[in-house]
Amino acid sequence: MTLRPLIVPVFIPHQGCPHRCVYCNQHLVAEPAEGLPQKKEIRERIQWFLSAADRTRRDMEGAQVAFYGGNFTGLPHDDQLRLLGTVAPLISTGKIQSIRVSTRPDAISSKGMAALRDGGVTTVELGAQSMSNRVLHLSARGHTSEDT
């Protein structure tokens, strides 16, 4: 049996997102955040998941930290670098293989993607809930199908 790689979720509820659409109202599904998680909190969360995975013999070779619940590339650049930098030492030691982020189609740029790649990001989850401009408008998504 092949074990799936461990994904360590780090939540950044609604951070970096300028809209409140019907698809991801973080105020309904997550505890309100007073800001981004701090370095110590992120490191403790990662360590907890790594120890739990070790006890359950989960595959940690492809372990990945995932920043969920917000628009990662919509965060100020310094905040993105701080979050990626928190995980970087764990990537260099091999405890974590890579980083995954979620973002909006209208928050992507070539410069931003290069910074993500350089920061250890290998997976970008693009929130493309619809390709219908009418649906995107009615759901208050804040972008068009052309952005996607």
Q: Count of domains in the chain? A: 1
137 has a pLDDT exceeding 90: no
User: CA-CA-CA-CA torsion for 44, 45, 49, 51, nearest 10 degrees?
Assistant: 10
98 pLDDT more than 80: yes
Q: For 1-32, how does the pLDDT look when each residue is reduced to its tens digit (9 = 90+)? A: 566 778 999 998 878 677 676 666 555 655 65
User: Do the domain assignments include residue 10?
Assistant: yes
Higher per-residue pLDDT: 120 or 104: 120
CATH number at residue 10: 3.20.20.70
Range of 74's domain?
5-138
Please answer whether residues 9 and 37 qualify as being in contact, where contact means their C-beta atoms are separated by less than 8 angstroms: no
Total residues found in the chain within this entry: 148
117: left (phi over 0), alpha (psi -120 to 50) or beta: alpha
User: Which token pair is 73?
Assistant: 């590339």
Instruction: List CB contacts of 73: < 8 A, sequence separation 6 or more.
Output: 16, 80, 101, 103, 104, 107, 108, 109, 112, 116
pLDDT band at 80 (very low <50, low <70, confident <90, very high): very high
Confidence category of residue 79, pLDDT binned at 50, 70, 90: very high
Is residue 19 in some structural domain?
yes
| Any domain includes 143 | no
- Which pLDDT band holds residue 131 (cuts at 50, 70, 90)? confident
User: Does pLDDT of 70 surpass 90?
Assistant: no
**pLDDT averaged over the chain?**
83
* 8 A C-beta contact, residue 110 and residue 73: no
